[in-house]
Chain A
Amino acid sequence: MSTPQARARRREAIGLVLPSLIPILVLSVAPLVIGVALAFTDARLVRNPDYAFTGLDNFGKLVGNDLFWDSLRIGLIWTVGVTVLQLAASMGLALLLNSGLRFEGLTRVLALVPWAMPPVVVAIMWQMIYSANGGPLNAFLGGIGLPADTNWLGDFATALPAVIVVGVWVGMPQTTVTLLAGLQQIPAELHEAAAVDGASAWRRFTAVTWPSLRPIVTSITSLNFIWNFNSFSLVYVLTAGGPGGKTMVPVLFVYLEAFKNREIGQAAAMGVVLVLLIVAILAIYLRAQFRDDRAERGR
C-alpha cells in the first residue's frame, strides 16, 4: 500500500522528469521506432510521400548490392584498425605517463586537444599534413631518403590507412586518460612484490597490470568499437569516401543512399543491418571476455 506521502513524492518525481521525457520521446525514441519501420517501406525523400509497405524487399536488394558489402568490409577494417591501434598506442602512453616521467602535465593537456577539436578542423589539419604538394609528411620522408611523392589521401593503397591514423589520433586521448585512471588504481605493492620476486617488466605487465586493467579494457574497447563504427564526420571531410570508394565506411554509405540517392527506405534497411551487425559483434566479444574471466577465476 502506498502512503499519501509516497504518492506525492512519486508525483513530484514525475514532474521533475517530464521536461526531459518529452524531447526524448519525440526526438529520440520515436525516430528509433520509425527508423526501423521505414526499413520495410519504399519511402523516398520527396514531399507528400506515399509510403508503401514492401516487406523484406529492401533487405533482399541489399544482398545483391556489392557496394554495400564493400562498405561493410571497409567499415570493419576501419573500426577494428582504429580500435586496436587506439588501444595499443594509448596503453603505451598511459604506461609512460604512469611511470613518473617529467612533462606529464604537458602531455596530458596535449593528449586531450585532439579530442576537443571540431572534427572538421581535425580533417582540414590532416589534409595539410598528408598533402602531396608541400605537406610535411612527404617532406620528412624525402629528408630521410624515402619516396616523397605519395598522395596519401588520394592513393588507392594509402587512403584507408591514412584515414585510420587520423582516427587513432582523435580517439587516443580518451582511451589514454581512462587507462591511466585504471593504472593508478592498481596498488603499488603488487608491483613492488613482483619486482622483489625478480619479475621482468614484461612479466609484471602480463601478471599484474593486465589482469587488473582487464575490466576497463573490455568496456573501453566495446565503447570505442561502437563510436568508431558509427563515426562519420572525420571520414566524410577527409575523403568523402574516396578515392574510388576506398574509404566508403558504412555510415557514409547510408548517408549518401538517403540524402543523395533519396532512397530513405533502402537507407533505413542498411541502418538496421548495421545495428544488428554491431550488436552481434559486441555480443561475441563480450561473451568471450566473460568466459575468459570465469576461466581465470576458476584457476
Chain B
Amino acid sequence: MRALVRPAQYLALALYILFLGFPLLWLISASVKSSGELNSLTVSLLPEQWHWQNYSEALDRQGLVRSAGNSLGVALASTALVILIALPASYVLARLKGKVRLAGIGWILVSQVFPVVLIILPLFLILRTLGLTDSLVGLTLVHTTYMLPFALWMLQGYVAAIPVELEEAGAMDGATRLRVLRTIVFPLLAPGVVATAMFSFVSSWNEFFFALVLLQSPENYTLPITLNMFIGGEGKVSLGPLAAGAVLAAIPSIVFFTLLRRRLTGGLMAGAVKG
C-alpha cells in the first residue's frame, strides 16, 4: 500500500503538468503547422513539416506590427509613470505610521476589489470630456492608475525591508532627507524597482478591457485588441498566422514572469495573507 504512494503522486503530477502545459504546447505546435495540416482531420502534436512562414505571415499583417508598437509604447510610458509616481509615495507609505498609511493601504485593498466595469463608465465620460478616448495617451493614463495600487504595494514592501538605521545614520551625518533618499534608499531599492517595473510592463502589455472600451480606430489598437479582431471579424481566419501572432504576444510576458518568479511569489503572498 505504502509503496504505491509515490507512483500515484507522480501520476497525479503528470496529469497536472499535462493540464497546465498541453494548451501552450498545442498553440506552439499550431503556429508551425501549414494551413492544410491545421484543417485536416488527422490531429497530431508534432507538425508533419515545420512551417515557419506563419511567423513571417503574422508579421506581414499590417495591424499586428503597428499594434505591437502601440502596446510597447503604452506599456513603457505607463510603467515609467507608475514608477515615478509610486516610488516616493511607497516610501511614505512604508515609513510613516498613522492615518496616511492606513488610508493608503485601505485604498490599495479597495481598488483590488472594486469592479472595473463600474469605474469604466465615468472614466470613459471623463476621458471623452478631455478628448482622450480613442487615444494612446488616454490609455496610458488609465493603465497608470490601474497599475498604481499593486506597484505601491510591491514597492512599500521593499522599502519596509530596508533597515531604518541606515537612514538614521545618514541623517546623523547631516544629510537632508532628500539626500538620504537619493544616496541610501533608492540604490537599495533598485531590485524592487526593476521587479515592479517588469510587473507593470506585463500588466499593461496584457491588458484588454480598457483598451477594448477606449480604442476605436484600428491604427490605435493595442496587440490584444488586434488579435481579438483576427478571431472575430475578418471572415475566415488563417489559424497558423493567428497562433504565431499569439505566441509572439505571449513571449515578453512569459520571459518576464519567469525572471520575476521568486519576487512575485513573495509580494503576492504578503498581499494575499495580509489582505
Do B272 and A24 have beta carbons less than 8 Å apart? Answer: no
With contacts A92-B12, A108-B261, A109-B261 known, is A128 near B115, CB below 8 A? no
In the bound assembly, the distance between CA atoms of A201 and B8 in angstroms comes to 14
Is there an interface contact between A116 and B202, defined as CB atoms closer than 8 Å? yes
> Which among B12, B19, B247 has the highest number of chain A CB atoms within 10 Å?
B19
The answer to whether the Cβ of A13 comes within 8 Å of any Cβ in the partner chain is yes
Contact call B17/A174, Cβ cutoff below 8 A? no
Q: Chain A 123-140, CB within 8 Å of chain B: the 1/0 string?
A: 011111100011110010
Q: From the candidates B89, B117, B142, B208, name the one contacting A118 in the complex (CB within 8 A).
A: B208
In the complex, are the beta carbons of B41 and A35 less than 8 A apart? Answer: no
Shortest beta-carbon distance from A114 to chain B in Å: 6
Task: Please report the total number of A residues contacting B with Cβ < 8 Å.
Answer: 90
Give A23's nearest chain B residue, CB to CB: B145
Q: Kindly identify which residue among B26, B111, B247 contacts A136, using a CB–CB cutoff of 8 Å.
A: B26
| Contacts known (A28-B119, A125-B24); A118 close to B205, Cβ less than 8 A | yes
> Which of B49-57, B121-129, B161-169 interfaces with chain A?
B121-129
| Contact B100 A13, beta carbon cutoff 8 Å | yes
- Quick one: which of B222-269 are within 8 Å of A by CB? 223-224, 227-228, 231-232, 239, 242-243, 246-247, 249-250, 253-254, 256-258, 261, 264-265, 268-269
Q: How far is the CB of A205 from chain B (nearest CB, A)?
A: 14
Taking CB as reference atom, which chain A residue is nearest B109?
A223
A38 and B88 CA atoms in complex are apart in Å by 34
Question: Quick check: which of A58-66, A212-220, A290-298 contacts chain B, the rest being far away?
Answer: A212-220
Q: Does B62 contact A (CB under 8 A)?
A: no
Distance A106 CA – B20 CA, assembled complex (angstroms) = 11
| Chain A contact surface mostly | helix
The interface size of chain B toward A, counting residues with CB under 8 Å, comes to 90
With beta carbons under 8 angstroms apart, the residue of B41, B92, B117, B119 that contacts A17 is B92
* A residues less than 8 Å from B213 (CB atoms): 255, 259
Give the Cβ gap from A249 to chain B, nearest Cβ, in Å.
10
Answer yes or no: A286 CB below 8 A from chain B CBs. no
Q: Is A115 interfacial (CB-CB < 8 Å)?
A: yes
Which residues of chain B come closer than 8 Å to A226, judged between CB atoms?
A: 112-113
Docked-complex contact B258 and A109, CB < 8 angstroms: yes
Asked if B174 is an interface residue, CB under 8 A from chain A, the answer is no
A254 partner residues in chain B, CB cutoff 8 A: 117-118
The chain B residue with its CB closest to the CB of A282 is B113
- A120 close to B (CB within 8 Å): yes
| Bound-complex Cα distance A233 to B208 (A) | 6
Q: For A93, list chain B residues within 8 Å (CB).
A: 16
The reply on B30 being an interface residue by CB < 8 A is: yes
Contact between B125 and A34 (Cβ–Cβ < 8 Å)? yes
**CB atoms of A113 and B20 under 8 A apart:** yes
Chain A residues with CB below 8 A from B126, complex form: 26-27, 30-31, 34
Tell me, in angstroms, the Cα distance from A16 to B38 when the chains sit together.
56
Contact call B115/A230, Cβ cutoff below 8 A: yes
The 7 A-B residue pairs whose C-beta atoms are closest, nearest first, are: A271-B118, A116-B257, A34-B122, A139-B43, A16-B88, A118-B206, A27-B145
